[in-house]
Amino acid sequence: MDRLFSEYTTLQYQNKAMRRELEAFRNGERYKKLQADHHKVVAGYIKEIERLKKELAKAHAATVTIRNIWFGECDSDWEKYQAELNKKEQKIQKLMDKNWEILKASDDKIAAIIQDYEGQLAEKDAVIHGLAAELAHAAALLGRDSTNTSTPTGQTPPWKDRHIPNSRRNTGKPKGGQRGHERHTLEKPGPEEVDEEVSHPVGDGEFCPECGCGDFTFTGECEEKYEIDIEVKVIKRLHKFWVYQCRNCGQIVRTGIDPALRAECQYGAFLQALSLSLMNTTNAAINKVPLLISGLTDGEVCPSEGYIAKLQPRAARGLKQFREDLFRLLVTRPILYWDDTVVMADKSRICLRFYGDETAAYYVAHNKKDMDGILADGILEALTEMTSVMHDHNSINYNSRFVFMNLECNAHLQRDLQKSADETGHKVLLEIKQLVSGTIRDRNDRILSGEESFGEAYIENFNKKMTELLGKAEGEAAANTSDYSGPFERALIARIIDYRENFFAWVEDFSLPTTNNLSERALRGVKTKMKVSGQFASARTADNYAAIRTYIETCRRNGINEMSALTRLCNGNPYTIEEIFSQTSQP
Residue 63's contacts (CB-CB under 8 Å, 6 or more residues apart) are: none
Residues 459, 507: contact at Cβ < 8 Å?
A: yes
pLDDT in tens, 260-289: 888 889 999 999 999 999 999 999 999 999
Question: Would you state the pLDDT for residue 586?
Answer: 44
Question: Would you state the pLDDT for residue 38?
Answer: 79
Q: What are phi and psi of 265, to 5 degrees?
A: -145, 130
Question: Would you state the pLDDT for residue 149?
Answer: 64
CA atoms within 13 A on the CB side of 162: 7
Query: How far is 546 from 365, CA to CA, in rounded Å?
Result: 7
Is residue 195 one of the residues assigned to a domain? no
Q: What burial class does residue 374 get, using C-beta atoms within 10 Å of its C-beta: 0-12 exposed, 13-18 middle, 19+ buried?
A: buried
Alpha-carbon distances of 28 from 1, 22, 24, 33, 37, rounded to whole Å: 41, 10, 6, 9, 14
CA neighbor of 570 nearest in space, from 241, 243, 317: 317
CA atoms within 13 A on the CB side of 220: 0
Is residue 190 one of the residues assigned to a domain? no
CA atoms within 13 A on the CB side of 197: 10
DSSP 227: -
Query: How far is 15 from 354, CA to CA, in rounded Å?
Result: 163
In 3-state terms, what secondary structure has residue 216? Answer: coil
Report the DSSP beta bridge partners of residue 362. 355
Domain closes at, from 101, 126, 151: 126
pLDDT in tens, 197-247: 888 888 777 888 888 887 888 888 888 888 988 888 899 999 888 888 888
Is residue 253 one of the residues assigned to a domain? no
Question: Would you state the pLDDT for residue 350?
Answer: 95
Q: What burial class does residue 151 get, using C-beta atoms within 10 Å of its C-beta: 0-12 exposed, 13-18 middle, 19+ buried?
A: middle
Domain closes at, from 126, 145, 168: 126
pTM of the model as a whole: 0.73
Is residue 410 one of the residues assigned to a domain? yes
Is residue 95 one of the residues assigned to a domain? yes
Q: In the chain, which stretches have pLDDT less than 50?
A: 586-587
Q: What burial class does residue 246 get, using C-beta atoms within 10 Å of its C-beta: 0-12 exposed, 13-18 middle, 19+ buried?
A: exposed
Residue 418's contacts (CB-CB under 8 Å, 6 or more residues apart) are: 147, 148, 429, 430, 433
Is residue 243 one of the residues assigned to a domain? no
Domain closes at, from 85, 110, 126: 126
Q: What are phi and psi of 339, to 5 degrees?
A: -165, 165
Rg (CA), the chain: 60
Instruction: Give the rounded distance of the alpha carbon of 15 from its chain centre.
Output: 139
Is residue 351 one of the residues assigned to a domain? yes
Query: How far is 160 from 153, CA to CA, in rounded Å?
Result: 11
End-to-end CA distance of the chain: 185
Total number of domains in the chain: 2
CA neighbor of 437 nearest in space, from 352, 384, 507: 507
Is residue 62 one of the residues assigned to a domain? yes
- Full domain range(s) for residue 48: 2-126
Report the DSSP beta bridge partners of residue 243. 254
Alpha-carbon distances of 43 from 29, 333, 392, rounded to whole Å: 21, 157, 140
Annotate 402-434 with DSSP letters as a single string: --SEEEE-HHHHHHHHHHHHHHH--HHHHHHHH
